[in-house]
Amino acid sequence: MTRPYIVSKAEDPWSRIWFDTSPRHLAGPGDPRHVTQALRAGGWKNYADPDFPHVVLASPDFRYTLVLEPAADTYSAWWRISAQRWHASYGGNTPAEIIAGFTDALLQPVPAAEPGVWATLQAAGWTYERDERGNESARHPDGITTMERRATLTSDYFSWSAEVALPTGLGGHQRLWHAYFDDRTPRHLLAAFATALTDPAPVPRGHYDVPHSHLVSQVERGAQREQLAAAHEARLKAIRAAARKARRSGAPNTHPSAPIPAAELAAAAAPGR
């Protein structure tokens, strides 16, 4: 029996006309397979329940897991990435290309020198501030996009966050997307996220397939369906090749940390989590 034709976004990039969309941090979620298929190309496996609308991936050594579970509120933590000592999360409107900056770094060797998060943002024109408590923040020139490392009001425990918050005109703000990082998150992963966040390259989106069309510029791109599919496959091919090379050399391609217990992985894959 042949597969019936069913209209679905899973048919992308074949099902629409694509537009180069800038800036990327306001372009909306995009295709989650930019993240999930890259991890699978790097050897991660999917442990999801096929009858539940989620994705549950684990690295080959079970050091890392990624759970993608859509929720009613796009601001909620749709994406959850965990290790034994740290975790990170992203809201539903976070562009997949920015999340991929973080997750792609999980597939690569840990750099010998720790890269600078704030230096990356400042090089892109963001303003940086640090207060007397050690709280740090950087703000995009658009005034609505920030990245912070702050302690809670009642303790010295720090955490990282990034967000786009749109003014409502009534003195309040409406969050477009939000990312959270435990302070124990390796700095090279945070720097990779900052690099993807500040990348000036446009991202492909359907016409007006963005949360707020007035915040972005969309130009019909020359590269369409075949070219986009070919570029995606080339990206996956390069990741597979790098993973094979790492396995042959025996070099670790992930940050050393204790493996996630099998029981915890099974619980993460259970429906309703």
| Token pair for 161 | 């966050």
Plot region of 208 (φ>0 → left; ψ -120 to 50 → alpha; else → beta)? left
Quote the pLDDT of residue 113: 87
Q: Which residues contact 64 (CB under 8 A, 6 or more apart)?
A: 44, 58, 81, 82, 83, 106, 254, 260
Quote the pLDDT of residue 115: 85
In 10 A of CB 241, how many CB atoms? 11
Output phi, psi for 128, to 5 deg: -120, 140
Using CA atoms in the order 118, 122, 124, 125, what is the torsion angle rounded to 10 degrees? 150
Quote the pLDDT of residue 1: 55
Quote the pLDDT of residue 77: 95
3-class DSSP assignment, residue 34? helix
CA triple 71-74-76, angle to 5 deg: 65
Q: What type of residue is 106?
A: L
pTM for this predicted structure: 0.88
- The Cα 134–Cα 264 span in angstroms is 35
Question: What residues does 58 pair with on adjacent strands?
Answer: 45, 65
Per-residue pLDDT of the chain (273 residues; tens, 9 = 90+): 577 878 888 887 777 889 999 999 999 999 999 999 999 999 999 999 999 999 999 999 999 999 999 998 888 999 999 999 999 999 999 999 999 999 999 999 999 888 899 999 999 999 999 999 899 999 999 999 999 999 987 778 899 999 999 988 777 888 999 999 999 999 999 999 999 999 999 999 998 889 999 999 999 876 678 888 999 999 999 999 999 988 888 755 444 334 444 444 444 444 443
